[in-house]
Structure 1
Amino acid sequence: MWRSMRLVEQLREAWSAAKATARLAIGLPDYDAYVAHVRAQHPGATPMAREAFAVERMEARYGKGRSRCC
């Protein structure tokens, strides 16, 4: 019983790590990591909403009003 519970936990951890790696590989920002960082490092600050975070990250990556491929 305990072995199967441990296996399930290990699979969850592996899946989370795989998702994070895939997001980094294709350039998708990790909102949950951002929120955890803000709460841990800036306790008085309010994290941006998910939509605002996505817009800010895309602007930081590609620039505002311009597009680039490489």
Structure 2
Amino acid sequence: MASAQSFRDQLRTLTKCVCDGARMMVGQGDYGAYAEHIRRTHPDREPMTETEFFRNRENARFGVGNTSGFRCC
């Protein structure tokens, strides 16, 4: 039989997966994963702040800066 701690760990992992999936569905990636990726693969670049990252993902989602106009798909 699984321990209560094991169950809590599994529940925490499931909750994180569900939250990450929901964020991706609405165009919001995981800032922590982004920041870690930048630090690991682009050590010469400073990662965006969390606010900048959020704004960048929102702009990409809604086509801000897209010269051909708004595009939902």
SS where residue 47 of structure 1 aligns? coil
| Structure 1 CA distance for aligned equivalents of residues 22 and 60 of structure 2 | 20
Q: How far 1:56 moved relative to its partner?
A: 2.2
Over the aligned positions, Cα root-mean-square deviation in angstroms equals 2.2
| Structure 2 CA distance for aligned equivalents of residues 51 and 27 of structure 1 | 14
Residue equivalent to 2:11:
11
Q: TM-score, normalised by structure 1?
A: 0.74
Q: Residue 47 of structure 2 aligns to which amino acid in structure 1? A: P
How many residue pairs align between the two structures? 69
Pairing 1:52–2:57 present: no
Gap regions ≥5 residues in structure 2 = none
Gap regions ≥5 residues in structure 1 = none
| Structure 2 CA distance for aligned equivalents of residues 31 and 63 of structure 1 | 20
Q: How far 1:58 moved relative to its partner?
A: 2.7
